[in-house]
Amino acid sequence: MKLNKKQEAQLMNRSKGIAKPLVSGSYLVEIAEHYLSENNILQPFLQCERVSLGLSLRLTEMGIENRIIVADVDMEYYAGDIKDWMNFDVIEHHFIKVGSKILDATAGQFKGMPKIYFGSCPLKFNCR
């Protein structure tokens, strides 16, 4: 994603010569939506590790500090085909931490979650 000058100015706060990202949750969700669209990822099921890695790299290229987090999520919250995980009690789920919040571009694979989620770690995710 190429930023125009206005977007770049909105993203960066120049303080003492060091660029620090000032990024809203809605902007991060927009970046995640664009990433999913340009990579033709229509269904998030079973793709959290691949999507999180690619999106994390994109955020890093944009100067947004982040890291990938792994959480155990109880099977009862999985909204996909249960046969994918029928021998498991929990699912290992990958998402991105930006500051003190999480950005999950594959949250839609869990019951009660939006397609893309930004906010505090949901209780259903046993964040490590």
Q: What integer pLDDT is reported at residue 9 of this predicted model?
A: 54
At 89, list the tokens. Answer: 């009690």
Nearest CA-CA partner of 117 in 60, 90, 98: 98
Domain ranges of the chain: 5-127
pTM for the model: 0.77
pLDDT in tens, the chain (128 residues): 555 655 555 555 433 344 444 578 889 999 999 999 998 888 777 889 999 999 999 999 999 999 999 998 888 888 877 666 667 788 889 999 999 899 999 999 899 999 999 999 888 887 76
